[in-house]
Structure 1
Amino acid sequence: MERSPGVFAPQWRLTSIGIAVAISLFAFEGIAVATAMPAVVRDLDGLAFFGWPYSAFLVMNLVGLGVAGQWCDRVGQRTPLLTGIGVFTLGLLTAGSAGHMAVFVLGRGAQGIGVGLASVAVFQLVATAYPAHLRPKALAIISAAYVLPALIGPVVSGTITAHLGWRWVFLGLVPLVLAGGLTLLPVLRTSTAPGRTSAGGSRKPLFALLAGIGVVVLQSGGNAVVAGRTTLAVLLLGAGLLALVAGLRELLPQGSTRLRRGVPSVVAVRGLLAGSFYAVESVVPLTLVTLHGFGTAASGLPLLAGALGWWAGAQAQGRITTVARPLLLRWGLAALACCFVGMAALCLPGAPGWPVYLLWIVGGLGMGVCVPTTGVLVLDQSAEDETGTNSSALQISDVTAAGLGTSGAGVLVGATAAGNLAFGAGMAVLGLLAMAVCAAAAVGASRTAPAEECAAVG
């Protein structure tokens, strides 16, 4: 039997390389900024505003995702993608040349918008540039593109910061980002606009901004709870929840919260698995240091193991053609649930810490299977003039849930620091909650196929 060409066959090679380069650089910047931030706040006298660059990126990333969806459906991916790359580059230049913390925050916000625009456009590019049977492998490229930055990002950015200065963590990426954009120009020249003419797209950025502000306000409310400022906490939590719900009602497909069959369930499941995974991941190093006495390097190695597991899972799902996608999604969620239960067990008195390396490989494997699979399910069920809108909703669900998950984990850590809860008990509760969220996602996985396919999935 003749082997079908893969995603690096001559007709798709430049497109695949361009996607890999662009996503890798976006991911590297997200990782590198954490390493550079101590030097940034020292030089710009911005310690009091340490969290603002992260919040600005999150909020404006949601705005970019909100803008990109219907824009891509109206005009195709060329203009949004090139605009996203241009705005991201402008953000790099602004942050790298900042003389004041406010300017640095502005640069991070521009980077967030650029990544949001480009991410949706790249997703739509997968739908239009590759045939359906290659989409799982094309989406595996996107997942794998996050692995290399996770492996080398902290070391490279730390070395650059130490020897060249933190500004080059941003400025040094500019030529690489532009080169990655150039490799995508050939396929973008041949792209056509789906021609969607539906109204309402101008409201999306406002609701995305509202949702992003809701996430930040909810985090502030959680911190107020830990600080014992009850009245302020109630006000912030109420306002944040209202803003978040109001924003997401406009941004996500109707029926997402009810797990309506098809794309709404896929979007909901993506949010559930992202929120649970990133919440637990954010406390893995701290748990190993606090409970098991690991050193700084050893406590960070599980994240490396998870990145490798993610890569393996992404590659595996791209090669599995005999299993229905919703069933594959359940397998990935089962791996995540096992990981989270194991993490909770490691928080028990007397439990060893070394199994975390194996557990986090399993967790990464689950994410590597689930994330591209949700992408394939959305693309397969989207009309040509809906791929941008549905891709935007999928990524908004991911980003919002990840922000909520990490914020929630941070509040829980704050509660343990305040003496309201033992650290081991708090982290065990977090692991069990994440497992419960995965169980809810598994229920949703059975509804991610359209009605006509549900019999085959079940």
Structure 2
Amino acid sequence: MEGRRDGEVDSRSNEIGDSPSPQPLSRPRERGSYPGAETESLFDRKYRATTIGAVVLVALYAFEALAVATAMPTVAQALDGLPLYALAFGGTLASSVIGMVACGPWADRRGPAPPLRHGIVWFSIGLLIAGFASSMEVLLLGRIVQGFGGGLMSVALYVAVGRVYPPAMHPRIFSSFAAAWVVPAVIGPTIAGALVEHLGWRWVFLSVPLLAMAAAACVLPALRNLREGEHAHDDGGLSPHRLAWAVGAAASALALHYAGQRHGAAGAGMLAISAIALVVCAWHLLPRGTLRAARGLPTVVMMRGIASGAFFGTEVFIPLLLSRERGLSPTMAGAALTLGALGWSLGSWCRSRPSQPFAPSQLLRYGMSLIVAGIAGVACAVSPSVPVSIGIVGWIAAGFGMGLLFPTLSVLILELSPPNRQGVNSSALHLCDALFTATVLAVGGSVFAALLTRAPSMAYLVGFAISAALALLGALLASRVRPVA
């Protein structure tokens, strides 16, 4: 590809984006206090409908993810599709990559309303296809359609925040998004279990679209008031080359996920090839300098991927560790994840305080350090001589760290982006999240499967070590979110 890629940073000039008239951007504020932050509420009349609709959409997305994870074992058995079980999750992740990449320039050119509307529609259609599926193959199709819609939705909501809310309110609305995951984390699995038991698994999928349409009725009218082209640029939108790299990244992520489930030399070879292909695609899709953590926006994007990879690369093994190795019931093992979600919510609440005394780089360093400490606590729980409570407290600390990290990175990505690049750069943030998470889960899962029968404790510890090393790297890179003066 010639020239600078979408959303990339020219490290020589330190200008972000490639609009016809680049505008200089200020450095991230060294304190979280913004002028007028205390004077406006997310539920003031001009923001109320947008806030309610956006938070409900995030909560529905969270509920669906957690509920489907609870119901999928029953679904796979009912449709005789256990061999496709892993692809039901991997397919959603892969197709979301295409939605994320497509949404960025679309939202920059037309505003957030069109991609958000399409995202909600495709998300709902995917759920309906899955809900009425007569075979596992049809259900997989529905999950792929749903993932594409979810990718559109996630990026469009970030652009909506940048266009609707003043910068002083960004920490609070992003913290509200994080908090919107808490209630589904607490009650989602229980509700999903009750639906499966009393109404059938199909209602786990069919119950969400109607609520999604109601949330859309709240948020979309407010976004239509944004004039089309107000923040447009003349880069032609989504180029065929960029779309091709997005499809390549999706295919690589899917292959990586599949390779992580295989054993032996063939699985290891496929894992290596898929990982290399994913890095090549990421190099063309992410802002220039992301993979080498160049100062400013590239490091912000990189930090999101590192944080997600470290956190979710650990979380996926916690229920198995607590139930298989420590003898806890599935309910109690799941409760550890719920407590981690509550820690995440508490961290987000602390980050949203308008009188925040810490600089963004400090918050990121503290957050990453808490993730390292939390993973260490979980790793200690591998030993039968260590109380399980040590691991649970550690996971609460890790969740608190994520609560500090995510809103901070979300605020920075908008602060470091001109209005006509908020979509492309927000899509890069989500894309890096998805790609890092897919890679860590595939590599960690492959190593875990290889060691589990021979050295069960080492299987957990190696995976936790990979995640902890990532989080430690993030702590060391935190100061690089400041652009060059």
TM-score range, shorter chain: over 0.9
Q: Higher helix share goes to which structure?
A: 1
* CA–CA separation in structure 2 for the residues paired with 1:181 and 1:323: 36
User: Which residue of the partner structure matches residue 267 of structure 1?
Assistant: 301
Equivalent residue number for residue 432 of structure 1: 465
Out of 151, 157, 163, the position equivalent to 1:116 is: 151
1:171-204 Cα distance to aligned partner (Å, 9 max, x none): 1111100000000123112113311221462333
Q: Distance in 1 between matches of 2:74 and 2:327?
A: 27
* Aligned mate of 1:249, from 283, 294, 301: 283
Distance change (3 Å), C-alpha of 1:364 and 1:409 = same
- Counterpart secondary structure, 1:451: coil
Amino acid at match of 1:40: V
Moved more, 129-138 or 184-193: 184-193
Q: Which residue of 1 aligns with 2:16?
A: none
CA distance in 2, matches of 1:357, 1:249: 37
Q: Give the superposition deviation at 1:349.
A: 5.0
Instruction: Name 2:476's counterpart in structure 1.
Output: 443
Find the aligned partners of 2:391 and 2:154 in 1 and give their Cα distance: 31
Q: Larger relative CO (CA 8 A, sep 6+): 1 or 2?
A: 2
> Which of residues 128, 135, 141 is equivalent to 1:93?
128
Amino acid at match of 2:479: S
Which whole-Å deviations, capped at 9, do the CAs of 1:333-383 have from their partners, x for residues lacking one? 111111112222222352221222211110100001101111111110000
**1:363 alignment partner, one of 398, 403, 409:** 398
| Counterpart Cα distance in 1 of 2:258 and 2:118 | 32
**Alpha-carbon offset, residue 209 of structure 1:** 2.2
Work out the CA distance in 1 between the residues paired with 2:161 and 2:42. Answer: 10
1:40 aligns with: 75
Amino acid corresponding to residue 458 of structure 2 in structure 1: A
Q: CA deviation at 1:215?
A: 2.4
**Matching residue's letter, 1:264:** P
**Deviation of 1:234 (Å):** 5.0
C-alpha separation in 1, matches of 2:122 and 2:134: 20
SS of residue paired to 1:267: helix
Residue number in structure 1 paired with 2:446: 411
Equivalence for 1:197: 234
Task: Report the TM-score, using the length of structure 2 for normalisation.
Answer: 0.89
In the alignment, which of 186, 205, 216 is matched to residue 181 of structure 1?
216
Tell me the residue number matched to 1:59: 94
In the alignment, residue 252 of structure 2 is paired with which amino acid?
A: G
**What whole-Å deviation, never above 9, does each CA across 1:26-85 have from its counterpart, x for those lacking one?**
111111111221222233221221122112101101110011111111111010000100
| Structure 2 residue 413 is matched with structure 1 residue 375 | no
Mean Cα displacement is larger for which, 237-246 or 176-185?
A: 237-246
Q: Which residue of 2 aligns with 1:24?
A: 59
1:211 maps to 2:249: yes
Question: Structure 2 CA distance, aligned partners of 1:426 and 1:235?
Answer: 20
Q: Is the Cα contact below 8 Å between 1:273 and 1:441 reproduced in 2?
A: yes
CA RMSD of aligned residues (A): 1.7
| Cα distance in 2 between the residues matched to 1:397 and 1:29 | 22
Give the Cα separation in 2 of the matches to 1:347 and 1:235: 30
Tell which deviates more after alignment, 198-207 or 57-66. Answer: 198-207
Point out where structure 2 has 5 or more consecutive residues left out of the alignment: 1-34
Asked if the contact 1:328/1:369 (under 8 Å) is kept, the reply is yes
Deviations 1:222-280 (A, max 9, x none): 444xx32x2x2354134302320221012110001111111100111111111011011
What TM-score does the superposition give when structure 1 sets the normalisation length?
0.94
Between 212-221 and 376-385, report the one with greater CA deviation.
212-221
Q: How does 1:133-148 map to 2 (within 5 A)?
A: 133-148=168-183
Structure 1 residues 233 and 169, CA, compared in 2 at 3 Å: closer, same or farther?
Answer: closer
- 2:255 is the counterpart of 1:221: no
Instruction: Give the equivalent residue in structure 1 for 2:326.
Output: 292
Residue-by-residue CA offset, 1:412-434 (whole Å, 9 max, x unaligned):
33123332xx2212222322332
> For 1:369 and 1:161, how far apart are their aligned partners in 2?
35
Question: Letter of the aligned partner of 2:477 in structure 1?
Answer: G
Partners of 1:12 and 1:223 lie apart in 2 by: 46
Amino acid aligned to 2:66: I
| Residue type of the alignment partner of 1:428 | L
Q: Give the share of equivalent positions with the same residue, in percent.
A: 35
31-40 or 300-309: bigger deviation:
31-40
1:5 aligns with 2:37: no
Q: Which residue of 2 aligns with 1:156?
A: 191
Q: What is aligned with 1:455?
A: none
2:139 aligns to what? 104
Q: Which position in structure 2 is the counterpart of 1:326?
A: 361
Once the two structures are overlaid, the 10-residue window that deviates more, 15-24 or 242-251, is 242-251
> Any unmatched runs of 5+ in structure 1?
453-458
Distance 1:235 1:51, change over 3 A: same
Stretches (4+) displaced over 6 A: none
Question: Aligned with 1:415: secondary structure?
Answer: helix
C-alpha distance after superposition, 1:306-341 (max 9, x if no partner): 010010111111115332111111111111111112
- What is the one-letter code of the residue matched to 1:91? G
Write out aligned runs for 1:297-316 (5 A): 297-316=331-350
Checking the alignment, whether the CA contact within 8 Å between 2:448 and 2:463 is kept in structure 1 is no
What is the rounded CA distance, in whole Å, between the counterparts of 1:221 and 1:176 in structure 2?
36
Q: Which residue of 2 aligns with 1:166?
A: 201
Aligned to 2:270: 236
Paired residues, number: 446
Q: Judge conservation of contact 1:217–1:239 (CA < 8 Å) in 2.
A: no
Give the counterpart letter for 2:461 in structure 1: A
Distance verdict in 2 for CA 1:235–1:285, change over 3 Å: closer
Report the alpha carbon displacement of residue 13 of structure 1 after superposing the two structures with TM.
1.1
2:14 maps to: none
| Contact 1:345–1:428, Cα closer than 8 Å, also in 2 | no
Structure 1 residue 205: deviation in Å? 3.1
**What SS does the corresponding residue of 2:291 show, helix, strand or coil?**
coil
Q: CA separation in 2, counterparts of 1:415 and 1:352?
A: 27
